[in-house]
Structure 1
């Protein structure tokens, strides 16, 4: 039956671990003044509500909480069974069993009460019951603190024999945990004596605080160490967690060297240490509820430590890799416990066991991280020694390197000088010498592969008139503008050069003469469209703000009879002077009786 229907726990002769959450209903007592007789009254009995699904924790509360359980033994034999409360830092946990005849049997527990020898041997709070055949009973469990604390009403039921077996198994695991923790602490104590580094010292303190925290939260400390003092039972669990957090932060600062590697993060970590100190101050000044809430918040913030480790690891600090792995488990463990305490995550044997397993795993992994840190630092030292040796060798060869560098500089200067020697300083085109060097290469290539090759010679018309009328400055501008026109119109593969004065030459690779004539005509039109800006008196003489010029062109082609660059240029030059004689601003081809322009018009018009 579900809790919504008033669930009844049916007792069995053998019960291992029965989670009682589905059978429980709960009542909050804000004033902590109700008695068992009052909560059994008709008016208050109706106010008990079933537990929310999977939720047994109610966070930090100053109220008393009553939990009701109905149990029945339908069998023919009496059932001796145990109700176990694993959350064992509550000040008062009291059991009231209402038997069929109306009598109330009271059992008192809680860490503000002396450990009772007659209770089942356990570090948790547990209560024994004997239910007769066919009988039923109603059990009320009251949870309360003197001021405030975490309320978790999670409970389990087992038969007495099964409970004893569980305690035996648990004791073995606890022995393994404490033994492993002791070995880790001793191991790091020896490391401190040998390496004398701060991270090992802080880890030793941190591991000791983690052990104290485990003893507190597991109930072992209350059972064996401080059960005689309610004040210690009240203070040590909270202070253990605060020290655990504080030393975790300080160990992280020392291990990751955040003061040097991440100064901004280091200031945040110092702030967290101060915040844990504030939590301790609140605890001792009577604000226990606020202190516990602040401690839970700090635990969630510390859960972000793997992000810091991963970031430093990403930045190249290899010492952070082991820390990141260990602290990821730490974060999952602590955040899981906090979510359990606040009721966000359900309490069950798995989540409780995961917290304990996470603590021992993280402690051991941190010890491995420290060992890994030693290896990394040793390797870094070896690398530093290698770098020092390399620096010594580099110093010995420094003079040779400088000589080599100077040689490269001289070579680069020579190369630049060669470029300047091949380039026309006014236009940036090739000069006459470079034109013949590259031109002869292209002529040889065209002859070998039997590719067509044409040459265009062009000369600016009446250029002396421009120089005399507007000055050499305007004349230079005209020459540069014509050179820019050649660069814009022609292909990158074509060879363009200023041969001297106002005369230019172009080699068109893989181009027959007919196509070269068309290209020359395009150039003629483009040059005629150019306008060169003039200023001052020259503008008045130009009749405006710009000067326009024309050019004459001669075109020749590489043939079987004309198979050298000089010969092709001579024929193109002759055609150029033919264009000059026929009135300028036109294109003529070698050995053509008429200007080429009408021929172009025929070609273009079909």
Structure 2
């Protein structure tokens, strides 16, 4: 060892053996080594997604004259168990120096670190052979390599890493609080979704990077927690994105892809919960493969005019770049390093900051739209005042006309257009009172169309209606405008007018003669009809009821005496 104890040198990549079944013992692994089955890794540092276990063999040499204690740190967090064995060079028999398992209590780790660390002691000028078994629980990604540290250098590096992650977690937490406050202030669901999404980021990176096991779930930790927290974060991300981009409303076809991705997140959660390793790995791979679709969705919204979608594209692009870096690292295209190890959480943090900026833009645009809408509303309100005033005046006029029309219809006979019975009686009562006070003459005529039923039966009711209208028109044209004329019901009519007994008989006779001359055209030929009239005259005292009764008696006499005549009741 020269000056290579600061984590800059990796071990074991030149001699790697794959045990597909994951059942090989130490003796079988050493036998494979002796048979030349340990080969250099043909990737940049990862075995890729393969089942079983991997073994690495390397030699540590202490070139100094002092006792040397080293910490060998596994380069990644995605490992279920690690066993290490060593012996002095060319000695007989290996001894186990580490048996690390993700499910063991964190307190049992010989070195308190969020990743697996193996401690090795080297005497002055001593060389030791080391065999390390890496296990990913049947199927997963393995980085069969260790970083070499002195204890002090590893502790210093851990302090820096922990501080950086604490900064990122604090940033996520603050963004979550800010979004929650904004949600409470605006009642906008997008802020609430963003707040939950930010908290899920703390959870997923805390679990994946090993801090949850170190500080929270120190007992009975399981690899499935990584996938479960990842599933929750993916679901929250997609839920937020759908709200933020309004994909369901504006791009429904692409929105179906987002729903598919959300369904896969639920599937990932279930498979991880039940510890179905192959299905979990497949689902997670599918989720990462589908992530770039979010950029396509954002681009579609940006093309539709959503300015904040452009910032969303940038944010999601940063995240995808980080995830792509992780994928390239996992499949062995890129060699593992601190930069690409921490790039995914850093990219995730940058994504959240950028989305926060996008949400700020969105809020600003909503405020501008609100102010514009308020100004437009005020202008419209001013314009509407005049329109409303005109509308009210017009409506008031219409209501007055409707009222007059209703009042007229209430006192008018619908067929003939003259006063109906109720209106006739009301007017007649007032005229009678006036005549009594002034001691003026007042006469009443009761008129009935002769054989009207026979007309209806022979010619039909339509002709009967024409007869009633023609009769009413003739009477109206004969009497004075001050006379009160009304239809009492059916073919019976009444006339009240200022006239003496003698004059009233003359008026009745004139009306009878005018009616005789009426001709109504029918399909059966011209129709003529007559009327019988009863006359009553007001004395010094009297009532409307008595006048109507007297006139009705006179009318009855006229009909009994042969019809088409005038009879006066004096």
| Equivalent residue number for residue 573 of structure 1 | none
Partner SS, residue 296 of structure 1: helix
1:431-475 alpha-carbon deviations (Å, 9 max, x no partner): xxxxxxxxxxxxxxxxxxxxxxxxxxxxxxxxxxxxxxxxxxxxx
Corresponding position: 1:12 with 2:2: yes
- Over 3 Å counting, the alpha-carbon distance change for 1:140 and 1:129 in structure 2 is same
Partner SS, residue 57 of structure 1: coil
Q: Which deviates further from its counterpart, 233-242 or 302-311? A: 302-311
1:218-249 alpha-carbon deviations (Å, 9 max, x no partner): 1101111223114xx22210111111111111
Q: Report the CA distance between 1:311 and its aligned residue.
A: 2.5
| 1:507-526 alignment, distance < 5 Å | none
Partner SS, residue 15 of structure 2: strand
Match of 2:98 among 98, 103, 107: 107
Q: Report the CA distance between 1:49 and its aligned residue.
A: 0.6
| Equivalent residue number for residue 226 of structure 1 | 217
Corresponding position: 1:203 with 2:194: yes
Contact kept in structure 2, 1:98 and 1:105, CA below 8 Å: no
Corresponding position: 1:287 with 2:276: yes
Match of 1:275 among 257, 260, 264: 264
| Equivalent residue number for residue 312 of structure 1 | 301
- Over 3 Å counting, the alpha-carbon distance change for 1:397 and 1:193 in structure 2 is closer
Corresponding position: 1:52 with 2:36: no
Partner SS, residue 58 of structure 1: coil
| Equivalent residue number for residue 351 of structure 1 | 340
**Cα distance in 1, alignment partners of residues 380 and 206 from structure 2:** 55
| Equivalent residue number for residue 90 of structure 1 | 79
**Cα distance in 2, alignment partners of residues 45 and 190 from structure 1:** 66
Q: Report the CA distance between 1:386 and its aligned residue.
A: 4.1
- Over 3 Å counting, the alpha-carbon distance change for 1:53 and 1:283 in structure 2 is closer
| 1:304-343 alignment, distance < 5 Å | 304-343=293-332
| Equivalent residue number for residue 19 of structure 2 | 29
| Equivalent residue number for residue 371 of structure 1 | 360
| Equivalent residue number for residue 589 of structure 1 | none
Q: What is the TM-score of this pair, normalised by structure 1?
A: 0.60
Q: Report the CA distance between 1:44 and its aligned residue.
A: 5.2
| Equivalent residue number for residue 586 of structure 1 | none
Q: Report the CA distance between 1:257 and its aligned residue.
A: 0.8
Q: Report the CA distance between 1:332 and its aligned residue.
A: 0.9
| 1:172-187 alignment, distance < 5 Å | 172-187=163-178
- Over 3 Å counting, the alpha-carbon distance change for 1:81 and 1:169 in structure 2 is same
**Cα distance in 1, alignment partners of residues 342 and 87 from structure 2:** 33
Contact kept in structure 2, 1:253 and 1:266, CA below 8 Å: yes
**Cα distance in 1, alignment partners of residues 66 and 287 from structure 2:** 52
Q: Report the CA distance between 1:120 and its aligned residue.
A: 2.4
Q: Report the CA distance between 1:117 and its aligned residue.
A: 4.7
1:471-515 alpha-carbon deviations (Å, 9 max, x no partner): xxxxxxxxxxxxxxxxxxxxxxxxxxxxxxxxxxxxxxxxxxxxx
**Cα distance in 2, alignment partners of residues 291 and 42 from structure 1:** 31
Partner SS, residue 82 of structure 1: strand
Contact kept in structure 2, 1:150 and 1:341, CA below 8 Å: yes
1:249-274 alpha-carbon deviations (Å, 9 max, x no partner): 11100111111121111122111111
* Structure of greater Rg: 2
Alignment gaps of 5+ in structure 1: 1-10, 399-606
**Cα distance in 2, alignment partners of residues 313 and 380 from structure 1:** 18
| Equivalent residue number for residue 436 of structure 1 | none
Q: Report the CA distance between 1:392 and its aligned residue.
A: 6.7
Q: What is the TM-score of this pair, normalised by structure 2?
A: 0.63
Contact kept in structure 1, 2:190 and 2:243, CA below 8 Å: yes
Partner SS, residue 28 of structure 1: strand
**Cα distance in 2, alignment partners of residues 343 and 143 from structure 1:** 16
Corresponding position: 1:265 with 2:254: yes
Q: Report the CA distance between 1:308 and its aligned residue.
A: 1.8
| Equivalent residue number for residue 240 of structure 2 | 251
Corresponding position: 1:148 with 2:139: yes
**Cα distance in 1, alignment partners of residues 15 and 74 from structure 2:** 16
Partner SS, residue 262 of structure 2: helix
Between the two proteins, the alignment pairs up a number of residues equal to: 385
Match of 1:212 among 203, 213, 235: 203
Q: Report the CA distance between 1:46 and its aligned residue.
A: 0.9
Contact kept in structure 1, 2:9 and 2:147, CA below 8 Å: yes
Q: Report the CA distance between 1:47 and its aligned residue.
A: 0.3
Q: Report the CA distance between 1:138 and its aligned residue.
A: 1.4
Partner SS, residue 83 of structure 1: strand
**Cα distance in 2, alignment partners of residues 78 and 226 from structure 1:** 36
Match of 1:299 among 271, 276, 288: 288
Q: Which deviates further from its counterpart, 34-43 or 255-264? A: 34-43
**Cα distance in 1, alignment partners of residues 342 and 77 from structure 2:** 14
- Over 3 Å counting, the alpha-carbon distance change for 1:271 and 1:349 in structure 2 is same
- Over 3 Å counting, the alpha-carbon distance change for 1:59 and 1:387 in structure 2 is farther
- Over 3 Å counting, the alpha-carbon distance change for 1:173 and 1:283 in structure 2 is closer
| Equivalent residue number for residue 574 of structure 1 | none
Contact kept in structure 1, 2:193 and 2:240, CA below 8 Å: yes
**Cα distance in 2, alignment partners of residues 192 and 79 from structure 1:** 57
| Equivalent residue number for residue 441 of structure 2 | none
Contact kept in structure 2, 1:89 and 1:111, CA below 8 Å: no
Match of 2:127 among 110, 113, 136: 136
Contact kept in structure 1, 2:97 and 2:118, CA below 8 Å: no
- Over 3 Å counting, the alpha-carbon distance change for 1:74 and 1:23 in structure 2 is farther
Contact kept in structure 2, 1:21 and 1:155, CA below 8 Å: yes
Q: Report the CA distance between 1:347 and its aligned residue.
A: 1.6
**Cα distance in 1, alignment partners of residues 384 and 9 from structure 2:** 75
**Cα distance in 1, alignment partners of residues 310 and 33 from structure 2:** 61
- Over 3 Å counting, the alpha-carbon distance change for 1:78 and 1:13 in structure 2 is farther
**Cα distance in 2, alignment partners of residues 369 and 193 from structure 1:** 19
Corresponding position: 1:362 with 2:359: no
Contact kept in structure 2, 1:215 and 1:221, CA below 8 Å: yes
Q: Report the CA distance between 1:85 and its aligned residue.
A: 1.1
Alignment gaps of 5+ in structure 2: 388-570
**Cα distance in 2, alignment partners of residues 61 and 259 from structure 1:** 39
